[in-house]
Amino acid sequence: MTEQDFILKSYNLNTESGSVKWSSPSNIALVKYWGKKEHQIPENPSISFTLSDCKTITEVTYTKKADNNFSFDVYFEGEKNEAFKPKIQTFFERIEAYIPFLRDYHFKIDTSNTFPHSSGIASSASGMSAIALCLMSIEEKLTNTVTSSTVEKSYFNQKASFIARLGSGSACRSIEGELVVWGENKSTDSSDLFGVRFDGEVHANFQDYQDAILLVDKGEKQVSSTVGHKLMFGHPFAEERFSQAHDNLAKIKEILASGDLKAFVKIVESEALTLHAMMMTSMPYFILMKPNTLEIINKIWEYRAKNNSNICFTLDAGANVHVLFPKAEKQQVYEFIKSELVAYCQNGHYICDSVGKGAKRL
Ligand code: DP6
């Protein structure tokens, strides 16, 4: 597949108006995407667990109009939201070549998250993928396509992921479940242009994997992911890091097949700390972890050693801690979280989630 394959060449404007609705999940990377080239092409491959309960629900209502401008309104949790508009404007500009009907309709984008507002959880992955899916359903309508065959479904998902990527890189991993790979590499079937379901074997140990998201800091990040990615240009350790991600993807593929939980823990934690090490060693440098992030990490290490547990942590570009563990340990780990980790969460807040199957049309 190339970019050309995603250009919509003909469609009809017989539809005056309509509405579509999707729910799309967040995802948590095991091997991290950090650093990108032009047009949202990743510098290295990444793999993530799709989440189940942390989702964005978006309804797009479209109404035919006469002028040739972009026209849209955004509502967040029922209220008109001006703050999201510039991001959507940029997104529309990037995807216009592939979704040409953007100028033919006025769009009302009504969106809400299942996770608390300003929880510090990145909503760009679920948010951008939800809009991309809505636009794909409109494309289906304007081309009279009934997506029923496997080939059509696969094109629908690939293009949705391709469009989502242009909104936010990690969003391309939110269309399908349960493990998704993005970025060309030697170990898996993959593309730089869109995320694909991991095609390797997955051991029962990794079925229904759990993710407890500990909300350490719900404030606005000092440095956005987009700025962080840019700081990988000219970063002294960039090339080493990109090649390490290729190696880690190859290793994690083997681990997912063998069910080796101890090896999984090592790669996942190393990836999280490497991500933050890249931030700390860029110029300008920055730190997104907070003191409580480190407190939690140390507690997790103590607990793991004492109980021979397979609990581990990962981080995205923020201070919150994703605590990952096999379903078999669910009860004990939640007791540990309640008794020892909640104290480090802002207002005691955490979210219980697990691996999910991907986006759903509502
Ligand atoms: C640290 O996808 O938010 O979560 O492409 O600029 O929108 P943009 O960045 P974004 O980067 C997130 C990176 C990460 C790691 C990951 O999800 O792989």
Closest listed residue to residue 277, CA positions, set 249, 311, 235:
235
Instruction: Identify the residue whose C-alpha is closest to ligand 1 atom 7.
Output: 168
Query: Which residues are near ligand 1 (CB < 6 Å)?
Result: 29, 32-34, 40, 46, 122, 124, 168-170, 225-226, 229, 275, 316-317
Name the maximum alpha-carbon separation found in the chain.
Answer: 68
**Which one of 148, 182, 200 terminates a domain?**
200
Per-residue pLDDT of the chain (362 residues; tens, 9 = 90+): 999 999 999 999 999 999 999 999 999 999 999 999 999 999 999 999 999 999 999 999 999 999 999 999 999 999 999 988 999 999 999 999 999 999 999 999 999 999 876 666 767 999 999 999 999 999 999 998 877 778 789 999 999 999 999 999 999 999 999 999 999 999 999 999 999 999 999 999 999 999 999 999 877 778 888 899 999 999 999 999 999 999 999 999 999 999 999 999 999 999 999 999 999 999 999 999 999 999 999 999 999 999 999 999 999 999 999 999 999 999 999 999 999 999 999 999 999 999 999 999 99
**Which one of 150, 165, 200 terminates a domain?**
200
**Which one of 200, 220, 252 terminates a domain?**
200
Clarify whether residues 176 and 309 are in a common domain: no
Question: 254 CA to middle of ligand 1, Å?
Answer: 25
Other CB atoms within a 10 A radius of the CB of residue 37 amount to: 11
| H helix or E strand, kind and range, residue 111 | strand 105-113
Residues 6+ away with beta carbon under 8 Å from 194:
1, 158, 159, 161, 162, 165, 172, 182
Two tokens, residue 348: 């005691």
Q: Report the atom number in ligand 1 closest to the C-alpha of 170.
A: 2
Clarify whether residues 256 and 109 are in a common domain: no
Instruction: Identify the residue whose C-alpha is closest to ligand 1 atom 4.
Output: 316
Say if 359 falls within a structural domain: no
Two tokens, residue 298: 């140390």
Say if 102 falls within a structural domain: yes
